[in-house]
Amino acid sequence: MRKNEGTLDRIIRAILGLAMGAAGYFYLSGAWAIVAYVLAAILLFTALTGFCALYLLLKIDTLKKGHQ
């Protein structure tokens, strides 16, 4: 997997992932909490790995050249 996310993109994903996890835990219940947890897991995983499969499909690359 070739990285395709820049630093700012990864930071935003990590913050949103933590926020979604917190929202699922503190504010949501039932199916909405599960949706929030799944989205949080996806955002945190992509933030940690620096790779987004959707970006690959859409041919988006926020990583600066030479920073792989």
Task: Give 12's contacts (C-beta < 8 A, 6+ positions apart).
Answer: none
Residue 26 belongs to a domain: yes
Residue 67 belongs to a domain: no
pLDDT at 1: 81
Domain count, the chain: 1
Residue 1 belongs to a domain: no
Digit-coded pLDDT (tens) for 43-54: 999 999 999 999
Residue 2 belongs to a domain: no
pLDDT bin (cut points 50, 70, 90) of residue 62 is very high
The answer to whether the Cα torsion of 26, 15, 41, 54 is positive or negative is positive
Residue 30 belongs to a domain: yes
CA distance 54 to 36: 19
pLDDT at 67: 64
> Which tokens sit at 37?
């947890």
Residue 11 sits in which domain range? 7-58
